[in-house]
Chains A and B, each alone.
Chain A
Amino acid sequence: MVVFSKNPVHSVLYLVLTFFIIAAHYVLLNAQFLAAVHVIVYAGAIMVLFLFVIMLLNLNKETEPHKSIWLKASAAVASGLLLVVLVGSIKGAATVQSVNAFNPNIGLIENLGKTLFKDFLLPFEVSSVLLLAAMVGAVMLGKKSIK
């Protein structure tokens, strides 16, 4: 539905629906924190920005760039090859047994916090620095001129 809709705004709304379904899967895996954060961040913030941009751009048929037939054909072939690779990898992965026993409480927020701040402290902090750098970069780009 996301891909086949003619109207870009409809595509975005279907994508929001997809995010909700992913969040529902997280809930089924007993990872409520992840589900809630997923809804807040993706559906609540990022997709709203997408909608903003698309509504303001006012896309329609006339402004759509026309691509050559060769480009379309090559895109079809490339995506077909990707599909073959993905199907092959899924077929291979099905036989692998999971090594760790699944802990049903790992998604609850207490356990998640402990894991994040004990076992994965360094990656967590590094990713926060990365986000800060991205934010500073965005502000720099947004400034009109630097004196």
Chain B
Amino acid sequence: MTLGYVIYKLILVVVVFAVTLLIAMYSTYAERKVAGFLQDRLGPNRAGWFGILQPVADAVKLFMKEEMIPSVSNRTLFILAPGLSLLTACMTGVVIPWGTSLTLFGTSYSLQVTDVNIGILYLFGVVSIGVYGIMIGGWASNNKYSLLGALRASSQMISYEVAMGLSIIALIMTTGTLSVGQIAAQQHGWHWNILVQPLGCLIFIICAFAETNRAPFDLPECEQELVGGYHTEYSSMKMGFYLFAEYINMFISSAVISTFYFGGYNMPFVGRFIHDPNLLAVCGVVFLFAKIFFGIFFFMWVRWTIPRFRYDQLMNLGWKTLIPLSILNLVLTGAWMMRHEILSVFIK
């Protein structure tokens, strides 16, 4: 624990934080551009070159808007809730391995903030706390629509957390570790986990959509029924915080999906052309971000393609389809791992 170590970790944390916020900021722009592309429109193109300054304009607008706190609401909790939402969204970034290690001046610097031995459980813990931001916000607004939105959001998140956890357990069984760094390192070359766990990967992606409250599972904020869901009463930058938290969640879930199932920073055949480990690490970061951007694009693609589910359909899908499927996946994985033992019983 030297001073240099502390400084390096601090720099890494700040960089991860800044990149997360930057990507979330430009996701709002990308969302509208992708929507425009899919609907054969142009999208925002007034502020700056191809509308590239649109997020800045949005931020200025959100800050300048009049701030309103409902007089009957619970003031402290009303202010606390969006902050909590954003905090939990930002906290997940620390366990994701953004690349292998860089070697500078004889010292090796890992590009992962912390490789805790329970990284996956940490992710789950933070995700499960993320419900509180929405729930407190919905309750503190003292509005029936907000409360309904909050209840929908939290019941949806709890239901899909179960299936997500079960699909992850199968992944843990095949990889044999709970550390996110080791899972990424094991997928060297073509050993991507999606090839081992195709069903688990599918379940995980569906659950990630539900956890981030994105379409087709965006029932908590469905405008036609609930006016706006849990953030109906919010205005100005507090509203912006909720929207921002959603985009950060989207970025982080794309990062988690790419790390768990699509090889993380690994890319096949790169090791043959690039031999310098530092250059390889930089390439790894680039590949990871390419995968993440594709993931974000996929989120948007689905949002503008598939219509919203009905609430009972959502719950049926979660409890009656995804959970049995993930248990089946779990049993199959276990049977495959024990195949020699099982076969030897029958053959003998």
Contact = CB atoms under 8 A, between A and B. Distances in A.
A36 B124 contact: yes
Interface in B123-152: 124-125, 127-129, 131-132, 135-136, 139, 147, 150-151
Contact of A40 (B124, B135, B151, B178): B124
Contacts of B125: 36, 39-40, 43-44
B151 to A, nearest CB: 7
B302 interface: no
Chain B, interface size category, equals: 20 to 34
Contacts of B18: none
A39 B158 CA distance: 14
A56 B138 CA distance: 12
A140 B125 CA distance: 31
A48 B135 contact: yes
A90 B161 CA distance: 40
B131 A44 contact: yes
Interface residues of A, number: 19
Contacts of A16: 132
Contacts of B131: 44, 48
A57 to B, nearest CB: 12
Contacts of B128: 39-40, 43-45, 48
Interface of B: 77, 116-118, 121-122, 124-125, 127-129, 131-132, 135-136, 139, 147, 150-151, 154-155, 158, 161, 178
Given A45-B158, A51-B135, A52-B151, 17 more contacts: A13-B136, A32-B116, A32-B118, A36-B121, A36-B122, A39-B125, A40-B121, A44-B125, A45-B128, A45-B161, A48-B131, A48-B132, A48-B154, A48-B158, A52-B155, A55-B150, A108-B117
23 contacts: A13-B136, A32-B116, A32-B118, A33-B118, A36-B122, A36-B124, A37-B121, A39-B125, A40-B125, A40-B128, A43-B129, A44-B124, A44-B127, A44-B129, A45-B128, A48-B131, A48-B135, A48-B158, A51-B139, A52-B154, A55-B135, A55-B150, A108-B117
Interface of A: 9, 13, 16, 32-33, 36-37, 39-40, 43-45, 48, 51-52, 55-56, 108-109
